[in-house]
Amino acid sequence: EDQVTQSPEALRLQEGESSSLNCSYTVSGLRGLFWYRQDPGKGPEFLFTLYSAGEEKEKERLKATLTKKESFLHITAPKPEDSATYLCAVHSNYQLIWGAGTKLIIKP
């Protein structure tokens, strides 16, 4: 059964304290892995798509990486405005399978 698991469920960091979020997956034939950001009361906002192991994408303080079994979202020197829930999804059988998300809180 296709499955996506994100860890940790919640992460509290001080401003400037770098860390990583994990997305592990089991799918039969990965066709793409997606990262989204979701702010409270809003819809998810697309961040990155990764297609093959070894691929990396960057956007401001965020960098996403992909291996054969998991993806990491690295956050470098985060700011309070980076606080949000980060969602991971994988493409399987023409649908996206979503993880439950990691709630990231950055304290000033």
Q: Applying CB under 8 A, which residues contact other proteins? A: 4, 31-32, 34, 41-46, 49, 87, 89, 91, 94-101
Nearer to other proteins, 67 or 95 (CB): 95
Contact call for residues 25 and 92 (beta carbons, < 8 A)? no
Nearer to other proteins, 34 or 78 (CB): 34
The answer to whether the Cα torsion of 49, 54, 57, 63 is positive or negative is: positive
CA distance 48 to 13: 22
Nearer to other proteins, 4 or 75 (CB): 4
